[in-house]
A and B are shown apart, each in its own frame.
Chain A
Amino acid sequence: QALLVESGGGVVHPARSLTLSCTVSAFGISSVTMAWVRQAPGKGLEWVSLISYDGTDKYYADSVKGRFNISRDNSKNTVYLHMNSLRPNDTAVYFCAKMKLALYFDLWGQGTLVTVSS
């Protein structure tokens, strides 16, 4: 059974916005650090953003800083990635991942594809 399920991907025009969701089943996320990692087509893994268990600490890759915002709703067991001013090079599969403390990624969702194209 899927434990982390991403949704919200799709095709979007450059400069537009999109919000991804990651809904977690089988465990509560209220004490868990969560992250987003992306993978451009045919490329490797790139960490995008991280949010602490209570939402007080947030980190972003330089490539998305100022454009993306991560948030969480622990009552809904869901993490979000709000993506603004999208660029063609943001095209990627976006994975939601549970982190062990703020160290490594010990559980991953199946990913959702975001395509930025006119």
Chain B
Amino acid sequence: KQEVTQIPAALSVPEGENLVLNCSFTDSAIYNLQWFRQDPGKGLTSLLLIQSSQREQTSGRLNASLDKSSGRSTLYIAASQPGDSATYLCAVRPGTSYGKLTFGQGTILTVHP
């Protein structure tokens, strides 16, 4: 059974810092991995999707890496801003697809001015 763990559970940083969020998964036979952002009381917004054959994806100040063999992914946020404050969720899709995402519990990020 796939388990996804995110570390740290919460992170508070001053504006401008670069930061790294970690995600680990127990079964390396994944189809892809996705990072989401969830704002309080809102739905999820997809940030980056990395297919199992890829090593990383970039979008603006965000960079996500994937090391499938070790069961790890990191989300790197450069030059953090208060608007980045949210919960960041990592989700993996198994090799036998059907879109069944398994989510981590999330990292609550607070960027203070």
Query: A and B: real partners?
Result: no
User: Which residues does B use to contact A, with CB under 8 Å?
Assistant: none
User: Which residues does A use to contact B, with CB under 8 Å?
Assistant: none
